Amino acid sequence: MEKGYRHDNEDFDARIKACGVSEPVSTYLSRCAQFHSSPAPGLLIGAFMVDYALELLGAQPGEKLFSVCETPKCLPDAPQVIAHATTGNGRLKVVPIGRFALTMNRASDKPTTDGIRVYVDPQKIRQFPVIDIWFANSPTFNKHTMGTNLQEQIFRAGRKILSYEKVRVPVKIKEAWQPVTCPTCGETVPDYLVVDGKCGACGPMKYYEKI
């Protein structure tokens, strides 16, 4: 979440309306900002991206949809809010590649399925100077003085900064598993998560020290 982007519901919604954002995206933007606790620019662009992917798929937000986000920053909240694809229900995967892109697809019982990948196009973004310098992480961008202008450019740009491609993605098949007791900590984990005979927390995924 980018700090410094204030979120006043009434002002935010009025700005969306003044910039001509139509439904359902205007509602998506409000819901995403509330969920994220801030109208972060990447999140706002993400709402347009998810809406675009849904249209290209001919899908509705209530369908069982899967998403892969290529960055962990802000973007993953958009498919969670709009398409109900979450890490908890197993329908959202975050791959920290660093590209501002996401792929969406329907469920399938086959090894692969076709989907739509939507991404911020570096060529198209140049027609919106404030978005361009923000996206480039330029030192000339000041979120305190340019934040509102950035929001308005995002609202007016909408899909104009996006491109898409049809892709084929592998389908992860659920496999049977057995609980295994870690010999180090004594807690149980699924057998497929055991690394060198131990759970991840006692091995390469350790993230805390006991106190």
Q: Are strands 112-120 and 65-69 parallel, antiparallel or unpaired?
A: unpaired
Task: Determine what percent of the chain falls in helix, strand and coil, rounding each to the nearest 5.
Answer: 40, 20, 40
Q: Which fold has domain 9-170?
A: 60s Ribosomal Protein L30; Chain: A; (3.30.1330)
Cis peptide before 24 (omega within 30 of 0): yes
3-state secondary structure of 195: strand
Domain with CATH 3.30.1330.130 in the chain: 9-170
- pLDDT tens per residue across all 211 residues of the chain: 344 555 678 899 999 999 999 999 999 999 999 999 999 999 999 999 999 999 999 998 889 999 999 999 999 999 999 999 999 999 999 999 999 999 999 999 999 999 999 999 999 999 999 999 999 999 999 999 999 999 999 999 999 999 999 999 999 887 789 999 999 999 999 999 998 999 999 988 999 988 9
3-state SS of 16-85 is HHHCCCCCCHHHHHHHHHHHHCCCCHHHHHHHHHHHHHHHHHCCCCCCCEEEEECCCCCCCHHHHHHHCC
> What pLDDT is stored for residue 8 in this prediction?
75
**Distance of alpha carbon 170 from alpha carbon 72, whole angstroms:** 20
Report the candidate in 101, 100, 105 with the shortest Cα–Cα distance to residue 85: 105
Structure tokens belonging to residue 11:
């002002």
Question: Within its chain, how far is the Cα of 205 from the centroid?
Answer: 24
